Amino acid sequence: MNKERQRLNDAVKNKINWKKWGPYLTDRQWGTIREDYSPYGNAWEYVPHDEARSKAFRWGEEGIGGISDDQQIICFALGLWNQKDPIIKERYFGLTSNEGNHGEDVKDYYYYLDNAPTHSYMKMLYKFPQDEFPYSKLVEENKKRSKLEPEYELIDTGIFDDDKYFDVFIEYAKAGVDDIFIRITAFNRASIDAELYLLPQIWFRNTWLGDMIIINLS
C-alpha cells in the first residue's frame, strides 16, 4: 500500500482529515450568481471584475492558484505585479455574460498540472504577461464582435509576442494535515530581463455578515 492510498484510507475512516486543505478557493467569485444582491437579479454585472478588489465577498473568496481549508475560513493565493499593470494581479480576468460575444469568459491562461486525491501534492501553471495587461482592449474588441465571429483572446492582443511572459509554477506538498509546503517558481521566457514581484497572501474569508449564533443547551 503506497502512502497516498494510506492517506485516502485514513480520510475515509475519519482517522486523519487529509482533505482538510485543498484547491477549494474559487477561481472566480466576481460576476457570479453567488454574489448577486441586485434588485433585478442582474448577477453578471452586480460585481464586475473592476470592482472585485474593493468588495468584501460574502459567500466565497477567489484567487490565483489558491488553496483554503474545507470551510474556506483561511485562504492562500498568489498575487503578481510586473511594474506595468495599474493593479496587482490577484484574480483572473474575464468578460461578463453581456460583454462577451459568446457569453461569460475568462481570458487568462492557467493550467492545473497535477493533484493527488487527498491534495497531498498539487501543481499549477499561470502565464503572466510582462507588459501591461490589456483589460480594456479585451472588453472593447469583444463587444464589437457578433456571435458568428470568434472571440478576441488574450493571445490575439500580441502581449505574448517575443515570449514576453513569465511561467509561474505554484506547488503544494503536505507533510501533515496542517503542515503544507508551498513553492513558487517563476521563469522569464523572454530573451531580455524583466522584473516580477511575487506576493503570497493569506487572509480570512469574510464571515461576519453571515455568522450563526450557536447555543449549547446541554
pLDDT per position as a tens digit, 100-128: 888 778 999 999 999 999 999 999 999 99
Print the domain residue range for 100: 3-205
Query: Would 217 be classed as within a structural domain?
Result: no
Residue 212 lies inside a defined structural domain of this protein: no
65 closest CA partner among 122, 131, 116 = 122
Q: Give a yes or no: residue 211 inside a domain.
A: no
CB-neighbour burial class of residue 17 (10 A; exposed 0-12, middle 13-18, buried 19+): middle
What is the spatial distance between Cα 199 and Cα 109, in angstroms, rounded to a whole number?
A: 19
* Pair type for strands 109-115 and 121-129: antiparallel
Q: Residue 34: what pLDDT?
A: 85
The predicted-structure confidence for 15-45, as pLDDT tens digits, reads as follows 899 999 999 999 999 988 888 888 887 877 8
How many separate domains does the chain show?
1
| Residue pLDDT, tens place only, 142-171 | 989 989 999 999 999 999 999 999 999 999
215 assigned to some structural domain: no
pLDDT at 209: 58
Q: Does residue 73 fall inside a structural domain?
A: yes
Is residue 27, in this structure, part of any structural domain at all? Answer: yes
Domain annotation covers residue 55: yes
Question: Does residue 218 sit within a domain?
Answer: no
